[in-house]
């Protein structure tokens, strides 16, 4: 495993998890809550998977490649929704998810 990529991916996963949690929490405060329902669900799923991915990297799990691939997919799924919303928290979340997906793809190869 590449020693340089490892910390970058852990950091990207934790940053993404925090951004997703913040986005979901902020979405709950939006006026059009029904419109934000899918965004909230995707963000919460992504946050959990990013935390799992970071933990599995720290303990060098035998399933790391598969978990990194799953994390990248979850991040891209979140980007797909968040990027449709103009809220600043959604745009910041989408950007964190893009970075995390890219780092996870490096680890998965």
pLDDT score at 109: 87
Model's pTM, two decimal places?
0.91
Backbone φ/ψ region at 52: left (φ over 0), alpha (ψ -120 to 50), beta: alpha
As a whole number, mean pLDDT of residues 48-61 equals 95
pLDDT score at 6: 55
Per residue in 15-41, pLDDT (tens digit) is 999 999 999 999 999 898 899 999 999
pLDDT at residue 2 tops 70: no
Q: Determine the Cα–Cα distance for residues 80 and 99; give it in Å rounded to an integer.
A: 14
Q: Determine the Cα–Cα distance for residues 27 and 23; give it in Å rounded to an integer.
A: 6
CB atoms within 10 A of CB 50: 29
pLDDT tier at 67, thresholds 50, 70, 90: very high
């Amino acid at each position: 495993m590449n020693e340089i990529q490892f910390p970058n991916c852990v950091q990207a996963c934790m940053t993404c998890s925090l951004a997703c949690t913040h986005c979901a929490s902020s979405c709950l405060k939006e006026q059009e809550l029904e419109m934000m329902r899918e965004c909230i669900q995707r963000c919460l799923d992504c946050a959990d998977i990013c935390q799992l991915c970071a933990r599995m990297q720290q303990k060098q799990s035998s399933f790391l490649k598969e978990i990194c691939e799953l994390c990248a997919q979850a991040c891209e799924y979140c980007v797909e929704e968040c990027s449709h919303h103009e809220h600043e928290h959604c745009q910041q979340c989408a950007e964190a998810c893009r970075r995390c997906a890219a780092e996870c793809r490096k680890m998965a190869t």
